[in-house]
Structure 1
């Protein structure tokens, strides 16, 4: 087998392995283009709107506003975004959504904590036992409405790091905590939330 053939096979395998992911090591993903946004995500247009590069989500105590990407996250990735909880108490970034299981990384204003937990999300159901899930790790932080926070999430070699404003950080092992190791991305709000400067990049 000659070298050119080996290189061609390797390249095609790399392309096919990255094709189903929302970002690659060569190209990061951003939410800026309205038409592309609609084709890349599953959501209710009454709950999520993209205007002027700011994504606004609306939900309620009984019906959480949920949005989910159509493509998987890369195996190793970094997510950066700025978030403002303008109403109510919960904003959640759903990581590695696999069927109805996912990793909960969220801000919870009532308890004044950032949290990593094990999540369950039954599509189309508003029953409490069919959404959310147990807390695994938490750390106190002062959280307010109408204030912007810079969030960073990093998953590398099954290690998860979740930080706010480069000051408060939670870390855990996905394998040791029995958390999803692959899947899609999503957001949840029980009130109103604004998101901007959002980007995902695959890392090695």
Structure 2
């Protein structure tokens, strides 16, 4: 009986470690260790670093700082985080990155909006037209530097829900908006952004 239990436990651990998704149904993903950041994400260490419990990204208007997960997001998932845009005007949560295409969910201080849009990101070029993309949905929200914002993103049954501070919300259908149904996760900044309390979990 003990051998059977141990075999089952080891098999479960192997399945979790070899999973192609960034989180599993039995485990939330949290960014808490530098070694885990390096093993789970692709990034330039000059642009992104983890110190204690805070992930900090640095970019500029002409070269956005991007960090991208190595594994896929689950088909149905929920992402929670807190962000502080300490410099410049843009912070994006890049959803369902599939090759160069992704879903833009972002805070934009210049227009004072939160936005869902179609995105394109070419890792080898900062040319106009090879990054960013058109706005599909937006809602006005007062946004400032040096202020923490709570972000919740949920994708279930191809429906995207994007909320900031539980007060300003956007929703859309991935199918109807022709958005990527699945892919990787990323974060993007055109200045400096600090992220804490990041959790990613699978939804049934």
TM-score between the two structures when normalised by the length of structure 1: 0.92
Deviation at 1:99, TM superposition (A): 0.4
Question: How far apart are the structure 2 equivalents of 1:19 and 1:42?
Answer: 17
Question: In the alignment, is residue 98 of structure 1 matched against residue 124 of structure 2?
Answer: no
Partner of 2:87: 87
Distance of 1:58 and 1:171 partners within structure 2: 29
Show the counterpart of 2:4. none
Trace 1:12-51 onto structure 2 (pairs within 5 A): 15=15, 19-51=19-51
- 1:190 corresponds to: 190
Q: Deviations over 1:96-136 (max 9, x none)?
A: 00000000000000000000000000112111210000000
The whole-number CA distance in structure 1 between the counterparts of 2:114 and 2:51 is 27
TM-score w.r.t. the length of structure 2 is: 0.92
The alignment of Structure 1 onto Structure 2 pairs a total of residues equal to: 192
Offset at 1:54? Answer: 0.2
**Which residue number in structure 1 is paired with residue 179 of structure 2?**
179
Q: Does 2:53 correspond to 1:53?
A: yes
Structure 1 CA distance, aligned partners of 2:141 and 2:172?
18
Cα distance, 1:68 vs structure 2: 0.3
Of 177-186 and 18-27, more deviation after overlay is shown by 18-27
Give the whole-Å Cα distance in 1 for the aligned partners of 2:24 and 2:159: 19
What is the CA–CA distance in structure 1 between the aligned matches of 2:40 and 2:19, rounded to whole Å?
13
Cα RMSD for the two superposed structures: 1.5
Using the TM superposition, give the Cα deviation of residue 25 of structure 1 relative to its aligned residue in structure 2, in angstroms. 1.2
Q: CA offsets per residue over residues 163-195 of structure 1, 9 Å max, x none?
A: 001000000000000000000000110000000
Which deviations, in whole Å up to 9, do the C-alpha atoms of 1:37-60 show, x marking residues without a partner?
A: 111000000000100110000000
Where in structure 1 are there 5+ consecutive unaligned residues?
1-7
